[in-house]
A and B are shown apart, each in its own frame.
Chain A
Amino acid sequence: MNLILFTFIVLLGFTSYYFGRKKAYTIQSTKKRLTALPQFYGYYLAIWCAIPAFIIFSLWAIFEPTIVKLLILSDYSNQGYLDDELNLLYEKSKALSRGQFTGEITPFIEASAEKYLSLRSIAQSSKVVIVLSAIIASVAYAYKRISSNSRTREPVEKFLNAVLFTASLAAILTTVGIVFSLIFQTIDFFKVIPLFDFVFGTHWYPAKAFVRDSSEALDPTMYSDTFGAVPIFAGTFFIAFIAMCVAIPIGLMSGIYLAEYASTKVRQYAKPLIEILAGIPTVVYGFFAALTVGPFLKELGTSMGLEVSAESALAAGGVMGIMIIPFISSLSDDVITSVPQSLRDGSYAMGATKSETIKRVIFPAALPGIVGSILLGVSRAIGETMIVVMASGLAANLTLNPLESTSTITAQIVVILIGDQAFGDPKTQAAFALGMSLFLVTLCLNIVALRVVKKYREKYE
């Protein structure tokens, strides 16, 4: 029903556009000069169609459920029900009206369900009538109003401005919403687990914290020595470090090769090929690391007399590094290419060779962009989940030996949220606390990155 109505309103919008433009042409044919192009008259009318529709739809969505509920519950007023019981009654009758109710049907509920249905249908039809009449009235009003010297361009531009503003506002508000949901759960978590234990504790065994029955009392001592995040923070940075040891040199050098040395033809083929690496799903990298690189490293290590775990930080970090190569190579290629040719000419004209020019002129000039690309790579490495889950195991060892297995923040979030979980339980909330810390880390990283980039910009522009 709503869909049909919506389609109809869209059609009305097009129609009003058509009429607006037609009226503009009519005015034009009387040799009067218009204040705007005829399309603007059309858009103007379409806006007059869209705005009332939008307002009425929103009002309906906000108030209809409340009003219906009030009307239904008014039958039960003065009968001594508690608020909770009233809510339950309402939900029951709603469920019954949809045929989803399975409990015992009392005549009261049945009556309410019928009333609910009839109220809904009244609401629906009145919505249709009100929306359509409002649209027609407003379009008709606007249609009558437009003349050769009416201003249509400004309202249309303002409307577009408002639409674009709303879109960006939606993006910002979503971010804020996510952050807030993280914050509240995190605060709840730290009510049970002291912040000190989380930040400085060196034992992370969430498996120890069985999901507790909600009837049991919450006993904080039960969680001591369970949620110490040091090992997983260490693991996260360690694996990211290994990844960057692979990604930075290879990515940067291939970026420099592509930008400065490769002929146009080589570049034309090599760049997309490298970018294919970025298109491989991380889960594929994950089993490449777990099934190919991990066992290979283990065999190699054994043949050299080293003890290598089949799930090692080295395998996960190394493969993660390969995954990040295209980001760094492609971005640094772009920034190096955008260094003005005049700087290269200036350096060559002084008798500098290609490598001297790159080292002394192009690299410093491109540095802000290169730092940016590296930091982007680092936040990719810190946020990467799948490769670690598959290739580096889930046990949070506190180790700096790349041949042992370690775990990361993201992998632990996966561990926690797989299987039994209950909201309001410290084990589940631990995931939020980890998510929050991850968010803070990447936020700091981004701030540092922006600072660095800005500082060099100021220096070199």
Chain B
Amino acid sequence: MIKIKAKDVDVFYGKKQALFNISLDIEENQVTALIGPSGCGKSTFLRCLNRMNDVIDICSVKGEILINDFNINDKSCDVVRLREKIGMVFQKPNPFPKTLYENVSYGPTIHGMAQSKQEMDEIVENSLKKAALWEEVKDRLHEPGTGLSGGQQQRLCIARAISVRPEVILMDEPCSALDPIATAQIEELIDELKKEHTIIIVTHSMAQAARVSQNTGFFHLGQLIEHGSTDKIFKNPDNKKTQDYITGRFG
């Protein structure tokens, strides 16, 4: 089933065009990897999906992005509700300067999802369990989130993102600041999370794309060169540029 349908998306930073005519379908409950050399626009595209580009003054987005057949670029779209449905994990772990508990309860609080303290406790516990962090931190939920290691911080950010039960999770190079062991933990987690969420991950590591994703899109210079099943892209790409990138001849 198609979860997200991007149609002819153009993105401009001021006068400079960053994305050209991107059309891409993203399947539900699967992991879609976006790969490509630095500056190719894959992160920009990711940020279109939860309208994070709104934060940047000079950035403008054109075209349609349909999520559950609803165009999120439409004026009637409520960004607060949209971002409740579409969670995001960033490149550098960015826990808030609050306790672990407050970090995870942040989303449910601002969306009014828990009626009682007990309900909130459950949400926090469940989210931390799903993010495979519960066992490590259950005794220090009221210590600052910034005191964790890098990998733990990133899993905390994942727990924070899934605490509001989003349908889609966007991950912008979530492992690029982590060591190989923490990376392996996150990748394992991604595999688990796709049962309940649709995941789109931007990554620089082709090995990671091959390991975690079912579908892959290859971006180059603001254009979507090729997309399809990860198997096909990595083993038998249609486009010469994709072939060159996959085999490490550029980028």
**A460 with B111: CB separation less than 8 A:** no
B32-40, B76-84, B192-200, B213-221 - the one binding chain A: B76-84
Interface of A is mostly: helix
Does A365 count as interface, using CB distance less than 8 angstroms?
yes
**A353 with B80: CB separation less than 8 A:** yes
The 10 closest A-B pairs by CB, nearest first: A351-B83, A460-B97, A349-B88, A342-B94, A346-B94, A351-B84, A365-B97, A350-B107, A351-B80, A361-B96
The residue that B52 contacts in the complex, of A340, A349, A461, with Cβ under 8 A, is: A349
Bound-state CA distance A74–B57 (Å) is: 86
**Chain A residue with Cβ nearest B89:** A349
**B161 with A350: CB separation less than 8 A:** yes
Identify the interface centre among B88, B96, B111: most chain A CB within 10 Å of its CB.
Answer: B96
**B52 with A351: CB separation less than 8 A:** no
Bound-state CA distance A365–B146 (Å) is: 11
The 0/1 profile, CB within 8 Å of B marked 1, for residues 337-378 of chain A is 000101111111111110010001100110000000000000
**B110 with A364: CB separation less than 8 A:** no
Residues of A within 8 A of B (CB): 263-264, 340, 342-353, 356, 360-361, 364-365, 459-461
Q: How many of B's residues come within 8 Å of A, CB to CB?
A: 29
Beyond A356-B110, A461-B97, 5 additional contacts (C-beta under 8 Å) are A343-B97, A344-B55, A350-B106, A350-B160, A459-B97
* Shortest Cβ gap from B128 to chain A (Å): 16
Chain A residues, CB < 8 A from B111: 351
**B164 with A263: CB separation less than 8 A:** no
Chain B residues, CB < 8 A from A349: 50, 52, 83, 87-88, 90, 161
> Could you name 5 residue pairs across A and B whose Cβ atoms are closer than 8 Å?
A263-B57, A348-B52, A349-B50, A350-B83, A352-B80
Q: Which of B24-80 contact A (CB under 8 A)?
A: 50, 52, 55, 57, 79-80
Bound-state CA distance A459–B81 (Å) is: 32
Chain A residues, CB < 8 A from B237: none
Chain A residues, CB < 8 A from B95: 346
Chain A residues, CB < 8 A from B80: 351-353
Chain A residues, CB < 8 A from B157: 346
**A351 with B164: CB separation less than 8 A:** yes
**B94 with A340: CB separation less than 8 A:** yes
**A351 with B81: CB separation less than 8 A:** yes
Bound-state CA distance A364–B97 (Å) is: 7
* Shortest Cβ gap from B98 to chain A (Å): 7
Chain B residues, CB < 8 A from A356: 110
Bound-state CA distance A343–B57 (Å) is: 18
Chain B residues, CB < 8 A from A350: 83-84, 87, 106-107, 110, 160-161, 164
Does B150 count as interface, using CB distance less than 8 angstroms?
no
Bound-state CA distance A345–B96 (Å) is: 11
**B164 with A343: CB separation less than 8 A:** no
**Chain A residue with Cβ nearest B103:** A346
